[in-house]
Amino acid sequence: MISAGAAVAFAMEAYERGLITKVDTDGLDLTFGNGEAMVEMVRRIGERQGLGRLLGEGVKRAAAVIGRGAEDFALHVKGLEPAMHDPRAYASLAVGYATSNRGACHLQGFSHVPEGRVAMPDLGYPEIMDRFATEGKGEMVAKAQNLMAMYDSLTLCKMLVFGRVRIPDLVNWLNWVTGWDGDAAEFMRTGERIFNLKRLYNLRCGVTRADDTIPKRLRTEPRPDGGAAGYLPDLEGQLEEYYRYRGWDEQGIPTAGKLAELGLEAAEVSISWKSGSDQSR
């Protein structure tokens, strides 16, 4: 429903800007605040009817078809729409969304948790972090992504994080179920391998540093009011720290040394042709 909501919001903005009309919506009045129209458009997306068929392809595709500046307010990263968790309120989500392998997914890192809800001492953060600070966020996001890669692989509910289930508990559960004898360091290293493998796959499919970004609106338009009014995240500062901590080069490509460290040397060949490039799709 995150993408569906974002698609309808995008369509409503396009409608109010005059980029689409009732001809395009089959008579539906897509003005903001029209709850009945919102519900109806969700139905049309699900049943792939009329404009709903296009919106069901996501805002990136819809903006490309509509054109005339629609790309400026089509909020997505690598084609995936962000959740309601805003990088202009939680700084780490800027680099988290930018580097998430499947696009603007708040669950690939879950980094807003140590920024405003609970401490994560097992990751090296015994206190809740300042949500507006930049320093250290690139490293924190990388660690959180590694941990969430393990949550995903073990099909664990990420709400366990809120209950302060710690990494040693997860390691014990895994060992008891499998008969293995792993430790926390091996557990986290496995998460790192998983995340790097996903990155290698994306690189081979054409993703570049240019794709490690967030929508222009979230980079340049601060929130006008509320507890985060006036704040914009420093994406470039976080991204530089993130690449450095990950052991990736300036183009966001895992270095040969990092791949060797993770036992992924064989994967290097598949992306070596991109080394040093800064091409965009």
Give yes or no: residues 165 and 246 share one domain: yes
Is the domain of 108 the same as that of 203?
A: yes
Confirm if 98 and 235 have CB atoms less than 8 A apart: yes
Give the CATH number, domain containing residue 197: 1.10.599.10
Q: What is the pLDDT of residues 68-123, one digit of tens each?
A: 999 999 999 999 999 999 999 999 999 999 999 999 999 999 999 999 888 999 99
pTM for the predicted model, two decimal places:
0.91
Q: Cα separation of 86 and 99, whole Å?
A: 15
Q: Report if residue 241 sits inside a domain.
A: yes
Question: pLDDT at position 270, please?
Answer: 55
Total residue length of the chain? 281
Q: Is 18 found in the same domain as 96?
A: no
111 and 198: one domain?
Answer: yes
For residues 69 and 180, state if they share a domain. Answer: no
Same domain? For 167 and 59 the reply is no
Where in the sequence is the domain holding 150, given as residue range(s)? 92-274
Residue 63: partners with Cβ closer than 8 Å, 6 or more residues away: 10, 70, 71, 73, 74
Structure tokens given for 218: 């979230």
DSSP the chain: -HHHHHHHHHHHHHHHTTSS-TTTTTT----TT-HHHHHHHHHHHHHT-THHHHHTT-HHHHHHHH-TTGGGG---BTTB---S--TTTSTHHHHHHHH-TTSS-TTTT-THHHHHT--BGGGTB-SPPPTT--TTHHHHHHHHHHHHHHHHHTT--GGGGTTT--HHHHHHHHHHHH-----HHHHHHHHHHHHHHHHHHHHHTT--GGGS---HHHHH---SSSTTTT----HHHHHHHHHHHHTB-TTS-B-HHHHHHTT-GGGGGGGGGGTT-----
Confidence band of 267 (pLDDT split at 50, 70, 90): confident
Residue 63: CATH number of its domain: 1.10.569.10
**Same domain, yes or no, for 145 and 258?**
yes
Task: Check whether residue 97 and residue 66 sit in a common domain.
Answer: no
- Is residue 46, in this structure, part of any structural domain at all? yes
Angle at 153 (CA atoms; ends 152, 156), nearest 5 degrees: 55
Residue at which a domain ends, from 73, 108, 124: 73
Identify the band that residue 138 occupies on the pLDDT scale cut at 50, 70 and 90: very high
Q: What are residue 145's phi and psi, to 5 degrees? A: -65, -40
At 206-241, the pLDDT tens digits run 999 999 999 999 999 999 999 999 999 999 999 999
Amino acid occupying residue 216: K
* Same domain as 206, residue 128: yes
For residues 79 and 205, give the distance between their C-alpha atoms in angstroms, rounded to a whole number.
Answer: 14
Residues 143, 12 within the same domain: no
Q: What is the pLDDT of residues 34-56, one digit of tens each?
A: 999 999 999 999 999 999 999 99
Which residue do the tokens 């969430």 mark? 148
Write down which residue in 43, 73, 103 finishes a domain.
Answer: 73
Q: Is the pLDDT of residue 26 over 90?
A: yes
Q: Are residues 137 and 45 in the same domain?
A: no
Domain count, the chain: 2
In a domain, 80, yes or no: no
Query: Which residue, 17, 46, 73, sits at the end of a domain?
Result: 73
Question: Which amino acid makes up residue 38?
Answer: M
Query: Are 139 and 267 in the same domain?
Result: yes
